[in-house]
């Protein structure tokens, strides 16, 4: 895709949503970290329902660690993979307490040292909590990037690297959220809503579908 069309795409997305953010509900960086860990292979809606009950009871590393795996599972059992997530979260809380004074670290290496935190989760934290210009390529961004022609790749990392390279600097900090939301509500997996899409005129998929 040429630079002019890329510029138009993100200018249009910015105009429609000047201050995009995650749909996860959180009050601080620790709550965001726990929410993002829980959101793996789960919807933000399901995570928000669980944390609405969990966080008033335990919203610090110490309080969640004190719950233990069994105690934590009571709050998150409605979320997919809750057994492994409970284990990872308790381990993560222990590490945060011991190594990071219960503060969520602001660098990739430290974040990825936490159980349940991979590159995608680290990117979300770096972008949403610390304002870094990162792209966390989830299933939505992977689909939107490949479908529109913004970035072509068979792996999330390949797509991430391409997006970081081609997205204009002034749009890079918010691009993650724009692409996630676009994939969640417009460029959906089945029957994308091209008629409603504000960036369809610059989309490879849309032009092919017209032929």
| Tens-level pLDDT at each residue, the chain (211 residues) | 899 999 999 999 999 999 999 999 999 999 999 999 999 989 999 999 999 999 999 999 999 999 999 999 999 999 989 999 999 999 999 999 999 999 999 999 999 999 999 999 999 999 999 999 999 999 999 999 999 999 999 999 999 999 999 999 999 999 999 999 999 999 999 999 999 999 999 999 887 776 5
174 is catalytic: no
Class of the domain covering 29-128: mainly alpha
Please pick, among 8, 44, 120, 174, the residue that the annotation labels catalytic. 120
Given 138, 154, 161, 193, the catalytic residue = 138
Q: Quote the crossing angle between the two packed helices 139-148 and 156-166, to the nearest 10°.
A: 60
CATH number of the domain at 3-21+134-210, please? 1.10.1670.10
pLDDT at 67: 97
Q: Comparing 3-21+134-210 with 29-128, is the CATH topology the same?
A: no
Domain-wise residue ranges, the chain: 3-21+134-210, 29-128
Q: Is 138 a catalytic residue?
A: yes
């Amino acid at each position: 895709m040429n630079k002019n069309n890329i510029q138009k795409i993100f200018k249009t997305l910015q105009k429609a949503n000047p201050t995009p953010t995650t749909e996860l509900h959180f009050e601080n960086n620790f709550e965001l970290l726990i929410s993002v860990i829980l959101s793996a292979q789960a919807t933000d809606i399901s995570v928000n329902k669980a944390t609405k009950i969990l966080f008033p009871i335990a919203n610090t590393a110490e309080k969640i660690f004190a719950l233990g795996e069994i105690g934590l599972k009571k709050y998150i059992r409605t979320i997919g993979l809750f057994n492994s997530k409970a284990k990872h979260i308790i381990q993560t809380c222990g590490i945060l307490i011991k190594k990071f004074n219960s503060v969520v670290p602001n660098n990739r290496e430290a974040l990825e040292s936490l159980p349940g935190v991979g590159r995608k989760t680290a990117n979300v934290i770096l972008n949403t909590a610390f304002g870094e210009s990162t792209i966390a390529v989830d299933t939505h961004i992977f689909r939107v990037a490949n479908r529109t022609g913004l970035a072509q790749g068979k792996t999330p990392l390949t797509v991430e690297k391409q997006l970081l390279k081609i997205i204009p600097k002034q749009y890079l900090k918010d691009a993650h959220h724009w692409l996630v939301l676009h994939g969640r509500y417009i460029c959906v997996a089945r029957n994308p809503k091209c008629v409603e899409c504000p960036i369809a005129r610059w989309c490879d998929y849309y032009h092919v579908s017209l032929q």
